[in-house]
Amino acid sequence: MTATKRHEATEQPLRLHFQDARKVLVEGDQEDRFVTTVREAVRACRLAEDGAAKAEQFQAEFKEFLGHVNAWCIRHADKIIRAYVAPGMHGMEVFVVTNGDAFMFDFEAQVTALDLELVDAFPNWPAHVMQLPGEPDESLESFFTPRRALQVYGQRAGASPQG
């Protein structure tokens, strides 16, 4: 009977003590088996737990990041029609799609301010914020693929005002 089966039978927790000099047999999901020390098994458990906690933290930060961008877009709704977040080569790219067909130089200071806010507030999510003129619509494809990006503000391209 294996340790797991014995554990299931008795419903008692299997105790591993860090100082224990014995070895344990670990069976993976794909039936691979390896023998390791109790100390290493304990360390692996700790790492797995830390990894899961870190992944949760990253996800929570990313949600906050998206919320921050969305709130900023709402405050500048007079100039922005849509906004997207897409993975870039070295971090996230935030594309703020503006009204019309021209680069809005008089809006760039606010865009730069958002870019710097994100650097300070979300060091784990390096990002670059760029404004893109919304017309013509297909010009966005030169910078990212809208259908593969997260739209964080505005109506979907091509959707009617009624949705």
Residues that bind another protein (CB under 8 A): 89-91, 101-103, 105, 108-109, 111-112, 115-116, 119, 126, 128, 130-133, 139, 142-143
Kindly state the smallest distance separating residue 140's Cβ from another protein, in Å. 9
What number of helices (H) and strands (E) belong to the chain? 3, 6
How far, in Å, are 47, 106, 153, 163 from residue 67 at the CA level? 30, 25, 10, 22
Q: Please, which residue, 41 or 129, has the CB nearer to another protein?
A: 129
Closest CA to 39 of 71, 10, 16: 16
CA angle 43, 44, 45 (to 5 degrees): 90
Residue 13 CB, shortest distance to another protein, in Å, is 47
Q: Which is nearer to another protein, 41 or 134 (CB)?
A: 134
Q: State the minimum distance, in angstroms, from the CB of residue 103 to another protein.
A: 5
Counting Cβ atoms within 10 Å, is residue 49 exposed (0-12), middle (13-18) or buried (19+)?
Answer: exposed
As given in the structure block, the two tokens for residue 127 are 């990002």
In whole angstroms, the minimum distance from the beta carbon of 9 to another protein comes to 56
Specify the residue, 24 or 132, whose C-beta has the smaller distance to another protein.
Answer: 132
Cβ closest to another protein, residue 73 vs residue 118: 118
Task: Please answer whether residues 113 and 141 qualify as being in contact, where contact means their C-beta atoms are separated by less than 8 angstroms.
Answer: no
Residue 153 CA to residue 146 CA, distance in Å, equals 12
| CB nearer to another protein: pick between 56 and 141 | 141
Shortest distance, CB of residue 108 to another protein, whole angstroms? 5
